Structure 1
Amino acid sequence: MWQRVSSGIGAGWFLVSLVVALLVLLPVLSLAGHAAEGSGELWQHLRTYVLPQALRDTVLLLSGVGVLVITIGTGCAWLVTAYNFPGRRILAWALLLPLAVPTYIVAFAYLDLLHPVGPIQTLLRDLLGYSSPRDFRLPDIRSMGGCILLLSLVLYPYVYLPVRAMFMMQAAGLLDASRTLGASSRRTFFRIALPLARPAIAVGASLALMEALNDIGASEFLGVRTMTVSIYSTWVNRSSLPGAAQIALFMLVIVVSLILLERWARRRQRYHAGARQSRPMTTRSLHGWRGVLMVSLACLPVIFGFILPTGYLVVEAAKRIAFAGIDPAIIVEARNTLLISAVATLVATGLAFILIYSLRLARESALLRTLVRVASLGYAIPGTVLAIGLLGPLAWMDAAIDNSSSWLFGVSTGLLISGSGAALVYAYAARFLAIGNGSIEAGFNKIPLSLDDAARSLNVPAGKRAWRIHLPLSRPAMAAAMLLIFVDCMKELPATLLLRPLNFETLATHLYGEAARGSYESGAVAALLIVLSGLIPIVLLSRYGTPKNSH
């Protein structure tokens, strides 16, 4: 039995993989347990008054964001790969910049920018000759439409990046043949390029919708009561863990259903390009007012998704520092953020390496592949759902450690896990382990299996092979994984709000508190630091896959 399940893998590697998968699955099992406890009359209230609005707002939000991110991301990807124009190379990487700005920071910035007495509306009134907000004001950004627009301006790069890669790699011969036969660029796009890019569009859109579903700050700031916001308010305002767990479990069922539906819809889609076809497509030059219009439209997501909010943060942070200096609390919060993010990054990357290496040792093991997939589920679980699911197990772990310590040594440990930040490390590692798995697996795929076979023929143990061969050769992939995980940990808000220890603030929670109080200028420094940290992977991403032959 053991030989059939784990051929080629030692017991230690398999057991570690099993434990990691169970730790990721534990919050889901805990949710089911808490939901089964029942919340008494509260569930009737939630089902009648909370869930219908939360479900309606969530569906509307995801539908609107889905349409916009697909439209913006796919359109911009086609523009920078199919056409040649001055500034093409700059625009190709600039379209990635909104990824550096978390959704709640964009909402934070625009709530002040678009306030009735804010700079934008004040300028418009001056230009139009109005003297009061009662005479002229823009529609309130605190609305479903405003939330959809702001989230889309930040999340469209999730579609843009894979679709651009697909357009760059797909069969150029088909596109050139259609043009040779007289098909217009518009017909070539809709009849050939777009169908071929459907898998990339589906993957990118699903990632964007996951991020939209995970959002709590922007939705709450903009008055949209999604299911994520309802989970947080049920736990914090009503102090009902079973009620929050019931909503969270209901939301998790929806998430899993969407993932399965997306995979079912693409089950028969297979696209292959021969080696002779995989050359870059021939670009067309843009001329006249149509070209200027297309490039101008492609610049709008960069302007409104990055330049405007980031410029606002720079100005407000400079004003704040000039007026009151740097708040010592910001330094403490930055240290907390860096420390927790760094520890979680090391843990998640190390566990991902163990999982993928175990899978390589047991190349044909369906069980190991299943464990890796289970361990990657955390990214599909919204941060709020994950945090609610961890509350029970963490309390049990703290109690077990405290009882054991009191019995053995006569010393009470108290809330050793929940009170030390270990809970945040657990949540971050479980949520972002999938990023490490994907990056490291891609790196391992470039390492020839002949190296493993040669080392095994020389009786080199599995641990030594990992240390001497796979770790050095996969360092670039591990570095990329660590960078992405670190930035995601720094931006994570929902899980941090629920699991942080008492009197423990991060840059994200500081910003959330300032925005809740309406003191936007006080949160600008923290917001700017988060954005600057997010720029690091964007700069590195811009070095790869940028279209050539640009002016």
Structure 2
Amino acid sequence: MTAILVAAPVISIVALAMHPAPDVWRELTAYVLPLAMIDTALLLGGVGALALSIGAGTAWLISLHDFRGRALLLWLMPLPLAIPTYMAAYVYADLFEPLGLVHRTLAVWFPLRDVVAVLPNLRSMPGAIIVIALVLYPYVYLSARTMFQFQSAEFGEAARTLGASRWNVFWRVSLPMARPALAVGLALVSLETLNDIGATEYLGVRTLTVSIFTTWLNRGSLAGAAQLSCFMLAIVAGLIAIERYGRRNVETEFSAESPRLTPRTRLDGIRGWSAFAACLLPVLLGFIVPVLFLLQQSFRRGLLANFDLSLGRDAFNSVAFATLATLAALALGFATILAWRWRPNLLRLVAMNISQTGYALPGLVLALGLLTPVLAIDNGLNAIAGWLGRSLPGLILVGSGAAVVIAYVIRFLAVPTGLIKAGFERIPRDYDDSARAAGAGQATTMRLIHLPLLRPAMLGAVIIVFVDCLKELPATLLLRPLNVDTLATSIYQFASRGSFEDGALAALLIVAASIGPVAWLTRFSDVPSGPA
């Protein structure tokens, strides 16, 4: 059932794409698709390269070096994950606009210069690349750091014995060994970039995601949007293939005689301060600046003193949708992995793998694919009610917000499935056998053994899924009921009207809800260094 739920949107999109749309498709192929493909490729390449440079470089500095301020950076480095891409775009576009804070400040310092001419134009492809990479680099950082800090000392020692410098050791030893982790982090960055619609639309970059959005809503062509979505699904498949290719045939052997971790090199003086500054800069730009801007706007506009009741309603909707989706995803993920553990077979293996592919579906494509099945169910329920002589219930799934919850579950089901699977792998099957020998049934074994041991993994899944649901914009924007907003859609609407500052408090609420989970992810991230 879980595999069918995840696969249904893809099947629906392919079926919609089969419908002819010659008039719209002729215009799309002539004017929309070529530019959208070029912009999408440029954005993916630029964001990937910049996020890889920032994430891998800072992970190497923090994992293999010791310097003043390193302990603080361990907690700060992942915090940009708490800032959604669309929120960062709104903040920086406001800061760098002709009458924004940066312009006014520089005009005071350099009154005789044309300040506008020297300021970067963030409403452009380079601006979008920089802004998106600054909040997505932690995906690369977290995955790369896991590999760097567990590398054996013998490899670097052998390279230095042959005369390699520290830079050569990083470039020729540490970086190639971290290739699998870098491939995973880069794939996550690319998928999140494809999923974005708020930042790219606001900064004027016409990606495939934006083109699908405008084709669906502005041109009124569902078939044309589905056909563009097929191109996006092909790109997603390509990204996954590249990620698998990046991890191909990579095995790291550790010496059984000397399983020492690489000792951290002490950096003092200017080198230590330079390393600290290099790591602090992306945190400053990706987290601290947006948060300070939102705080300043909230106090300046009196959003705290004059609390808008509509904001409370939007927050309630966000929490309600996220809570229902989190509980449903946790239950489905647990049931899927438990079924595989109890009776493993090929069918359940395929179903388990399919259930973990939902995260690869961009939210906009997912919403488009869900629309037809959800409306079909609603129409079927109305037909049954009419056949029974009852009053027609109307659009139950769409009108109640259930479609939003279903979209959240499909998109983020990979998180609880993956974490619970990893948790089960740490529970020896001997425990199950011992419980069975003692006369305990499967339900008793699950309640007394599995659930207590899986509590950390399930708690992590709950935290991550809940926060991801709060930040999700594309699927929420298109599937929410009429006159129902969440914090994310409220921020989007403020930005669309050119008054993003009025949504600063809503943005702060999302950031505040995300900081704790992001910090939780780094709680056990540091390991003792090997002996020098």
TM-score, length of structure 1 as denominator length? 0.93
Query: Which residue, out of 477, 484, 491, partners 1:497?
Result: 477
- Alpha-carbon displacement from aligned partner over 1:233-290 (angstroms, at most 9, x marks no partner): 1111112111111111111012112212331343222223245554331111213434
- Alpha-carbon displacement from aligned partner over 1:486-524 (angstroms, at most 9, x marks no partner): 000000000001100111100000000000111022110
Q: Does 1:446 align with 2:449?
A: no
Q: Does 1:101 align with 2:83?
A: yes
Query: Which amino acid letter does the alignment assign opposite residue 271 of structure 1?
Result: T
Partner of 2:181: 200
Provide the aligned length of Structure 1 versus Structure 2. Answer: 530
Partner of 1:427: 407
Displacement of 1:318 after TM fit? 1.6
- The 3 A distance-change label for structure 1 pair 385 and 456 is same
Query: Which residue, out of 286, 290, 293, partners 2:267?
Result: 286
Residue aligned with 1:238, SS: coil
Q: Does 1:209 align with 2:190?
A: yes
Partner of 2:122: 141
Residue aligned with 1:474, SS: helix
Residue aligned with 1:49, SS: helix
Displacement of 1:92 after TM fit? 2.1
Q: Does 1:177 align with 2:155?
A: no
Displacement of 1:457 after TM fit? 3.3
Whether the 8 Å contact between 2:190 and 2:239 is mirrored in structure 1 is no
Partner of 1:80: 62
Partner of 2:216: 235
Displacement of 1:462 after TM fit? 2.7
- Alpha-carbon displacement from aligned partner over 1:376-433 (angstroms, at most 9, x marks no partner): 1110010000100000001100001111123225121100001101101100000000
Partner of 2:233: 252
Q: Runs of 5+ in structure 1 lacking a partner? A: 1-18
Residue aligned with 1:165, SS: helix
- Alpha-carbon displacement from aligned partner over 1:110-129 (angstroms, at most 9, x marks no partner): 11111111111211121112
Whether the 8 Å contact between 2:358 and 2:411 is mirrored in structure 1 is yes
Q: Does 1:373 align with 2:353?
A: yes
Q: CA RMSD in A?
A: 1.8
1:514-525 equivalent positions in 2, closer than 5 A: 514-525=494-505
1:364-513 equivalent positions in 2, closer than 5 A: 365-408=345-388, 410-513=390-493
Q: In structure 1, how many angstroms separate the alpha carbons of the residues matched to 2:112 and 2:434?
A: 79
Displacement of 1:291 after TM fit? 3.4
Q: Runs of 5+ in structure 2 lacking a partner? A: none
Mean alpha-carbon deviation: is it higher for 264-273 or for 195-204? 264-273
Residue aligned with 1:282, SS: coil
Percent of aligned pairs sharing the same letter: 46
Whether the 8 Å contact between 2:407 and 2:475 is mirrored in structure 1 is yes
Partner of 2:338: 357
- The 3 A distance-change label for structure 1 pair 69 and 406 is same
Query: Which residue, out of 254, 266, 269, partners 2:250?
Result: 269
Q: In structure 1, how many angstroms separate the alpha carbons of the residues matched to 2:491 and 2:258?
A: 50
- The 3 A distance-change label for structure 1 pair 277 and 120 is farther
Query: Which residue, out of 324, 327, 349, partners 2:308?
Result: 327
Displacement of 1:548 after TM fit? 4.7
Residue aligned with 1:413, SS: coil
Runs of 4+ in structure 1 off by over 6 angstroms are none
TM-score, length of structure 2 as denominator length? 0.96
- Alpha-carbon displacement from aligned partner over 1:303-327 (angstroms, at most 9, x marks no partner): 1000001100011112223587111
Q: Does 1:337 align with 2:318?
A: yes
Whether the 8 Å contact between 1:163 and 1:197 is mirrored in structure 2 is yes
Q: In structure 2, how many angstroms separate the alpha carbons of the residues matched to 1:123 and 1:240?
A: 46
Mean alpha-carbon deviation: is it higher for 464-473 or for 304-313? 464-473
